[in-house]
Amino acid sequence: MTLLKAVRGTRDLLPPETELWDRVESTARRVFARYNFGEIRTPVFEDTQLFARGVGEETDIVSKEMYTWEDRARAQSEKSQSLTLRPENTAGVVRAYIEHKLGETGLLQKLYYIGPQFRRERPQKGRYRQFWQIGAEAIGPPSAGSESPLRDAEVLEMLASFLDELGITGWTLVLNSVGSASDRPKYVAALRDALAPVKDQMSPDNQRRAETNPLRVLDSKDPADEAIIATLPKIADYLDDESKAHFAAVLAALDACGVKYEVNPRLVRGLDYYTRTTFEFTHGGLGAQNALLGGGRYDGLSEMLGGPKAPGIGFAMGLDRLILTLKTAEGASSGAPQFALADAFLAPLGEALNAPALELARELRRHGLRIELGDGTFRLRKSFEIGNKLAHNIILLGEDEQASGILTVKNFATGEQTKIPRGELAQTLKNS
RNA sequence: GCGGCUAUAGUUCAGCGGCAGAACGCCUGACUGUGGCUCAGGAUGUCGUGGGUUCGAUCCCCACUAGCCGCCCCA
């Protein structure tokens, strides 16, 4: 029989690495809560139309990377429905915002999520077909201040604080403005006009981009095309006064709180819904996938999905990539993540002591102690060997100890062995 | 989706057209209620899968699968 394996691009996360995941996630929850964000959990699959309309039919994500299937009708009266595993979470959050009429509260909705996303791409380092994102969205009616550049700056400052608190150093915040919903098409048209006469001289990749997504030409890494790219129109010249003022205000707010950034006029993002502010936090040592997180403003998304006007700004952070950078950083200093040691390994000496040992373990665990319970069939030597790997102390529960109520405890670090009355055991272990 | 590299023990990796190897880890004993250090012994395995060449393939060839790197794109 052939062995079943995790499918391509998916993987198992095992302890002790999962402790690192837990640390990152709990840090996110803690930091985001200080900014008054609340958690939202949306379904892992949605109507395919949500992504087609929200993310954009022409994007790579929608056109070739989605896991989509026809959910078959189970009754004559029922129609089959095209469903898709979510490739990102912003569309789902905005769908929920509309569906639950959160705009009617009149308040800005600040929501974060942590969960798996799915894209059918070729797996690589830092890129998986099931990957995890931590993201947040600040969305609401304009009257709630959702269009304010302060929101952009606040989200960026929150991200900087989060990365700092996690101990991630060496990141770079890169940002740009791609203009409002009306600026952007004008600019794209100008770009097409400028590219038309010169694109034949460019690399095949850029010729293709010039046709499908001219903005991407700006993002080209091809040095041969640099000269031509430098002559292309600049987005900054196509921003209307409002967009210019918005971007300036974002930068001013970042300056005021000392968050460092780089403006990159060529930063474009792949999703159709972005307007005005777009950004990335990048990090070296991630290989070709150097973007730790990306995001931006999406002032028109709600309306694209048939909802009310609800401007917003958000980001999605690649948890897999975050863990990767943490692991390489910590691997260099203190080695790979280690299992945390239990407070004590409890060794029953003989099978007859198994049941009493479980009772003692229960008592100690109720005091909050982390206890590894051995087995009465183990030879004492084996208990010591296992205990030494898993715990700080070993507790012996033999016939003598059971009869007298005085336990034998040995500390592995000091080698010191003591007799401790059962009533004092929990406190002694806690203090050690 | 395209190009390149790789796949051998639990792990990290040597190796060779002719009996499958090392280190670490694991198991047993020296030591019947005492770990680490030491010593002695032991088991590691469909050599990724399927086909081909050959007297003979873990080794050479082909295909597939998976991983890694780059491209595309993205978190």
Calculate the angstrom distance between C1' of B26 and CA of A378: 16
Strands of the sheet containing A262-263, edge to edge, are A38-39, A109-118, A130-139, A312-318, A291-297, A275-283, A171-177, A262-263
Please give the average per-residue pLDDT across A56-85, as a whole number: 87
Cβ of A293 near strand B (distance < 7 A): yes
Please give the average per-residue pLDDT across A181-194, as a whole number: 87
- Alpha carbon distance A127, A288 (integer Å): 10
The per-residue DSSP string of A370-407 comes to -EEE--TTS-HHHHHHHHHHHEEEEEEE-HHHHHHSEE
- Taking alpha carbons only, the member of A49, A50, A66 closest to residue A119 is A66
- Provide the pLDDT for residue A76: 76
- Provide the pLDDT for residue A111: 98
pLDDT digits 0-9 by tens, A200-249: 888 888 888 888 788 888 877 777 788 888 888 888 899 999 999 999 99
- Nucleic strand B contact set for A 90-149 (CB, < 7 Å): 119, 121-128, 131, 133
Nearest-CA residue relative to C1' of B65: A8
- Alpha carbon distance A138, A154 (integer Å): 10
3-state secondary structure of A214: helix
pLDDT at residue A72 tops 90:
no
* Length, in residues, of chain A: 432
Straight-line distance from the first to the last Cα atom of chain A, in angstroms, rounded to the nearest whole number? 51
φ, ψ at A295 (rounded to 5°): 180, -170
Complex prediction ipTM: 0.86
The residues that bridge with A134 in the sheet, in sequence order, are: A114, A317
- Taking alpha carbons only, the member of A139, A93, A138 closest to residue A117 is A93
3-state secondary structure of A366: helix
Q: From the alpha carbon of A403, which nucleotide's C1' atom is closest?
A: B33
- Provide the pLDDT for residue A304: 93
Please give the average per-residue pLDDT across A190-207, as a whole number: 86
Calculate the angstrom distance between C1' of B16 and CA of A7: 34
pTM: predicted TM-score of the whole model, two decimal places: 0.91
Q: From the alpha carbon of A317, which nucleotide's C1' atom is closest?
A: B75
Nearest-CA residue relative to C1' of B28: A382
Q: How far is CA A269 from CA A47, A72, A170, A185, in A?
A: 24, 35, 22, 15
CB atoms within 10 A of CB A241: 7
Cβ of A26 near strand B (distance < 7 A): no
Q: How far is CA A221 from CA A178, A188, A225, in A?
A: 19, 20, 8
| Both structure tokens of A404 | 């007298």
| CATH (one of 3.30.930.10, 3.30.70.20, 3.40.50.720, 3.40.50.970) for A17-182+240-329 | 3.30.930.10
Please give the average per-residue pLDDT across A172-182, as a whole number: 91
CATH superfamily of A342-431: Anticodon-binding domain (3.40.50.800)
Cβ of A199 near strand B (distance < 7 A): no
Nearest-CA residue relative to C1' of B27: A382
- Provide the pLDDT for residue A335: 44
Q: Where are the domains of chain A?
A: 17-182+240-329, 342-431
- Nucleic strand B contact set for A 374-393 (CB, < 7 Å): 379-382, 384-385, 388-389
Q: From the alpha carbon of A386, which nucleotide's C1' atom is closest?
A: B35
Identity of the highest mean pLDDT range in A4-8, A61-65, A135-139, A349-353: A135-139
- Provide the pLDDT for residue A16: 85
pLDDT at residue A336 tops 70:
no
- Provide the pLDDT for residue A252: 97
Indicate the pLDDT class of residue A332, thresholds 50, 70 and 90.
low
- Provide the pLDDT for residue A334: 47
pLDDT at residue A96 tops 90:
yes
At residue A362's C-alpha, the angle toward residues A360 and A363, to 5°, is 65
- Provide the pLDDT for residue A137: 98
pLDDT digits 0-9 by tens, A144-161: 999 999 999 999 999 999
User: Under a CB-based contact definition with an 8 Å cutoff, are residues A398 and A385 in contact?
Assistant: no
Please give the average per-residue pLDDT across A298-305, as a whole number: 94
Indicate the pLDDT class of residue A337, thresholds 50, 70 and 90.
low
Tell me the pLDDT of chain A averaged across its residues: 91
pLDDT digits 0-9 by tens, A253-278: 999 999 999 999 888 877 878 899 99
Look at the alpha carbons of A360, A363, A369, A371 in this order and tell me if their dihedral is positive or negative. Answer: positive
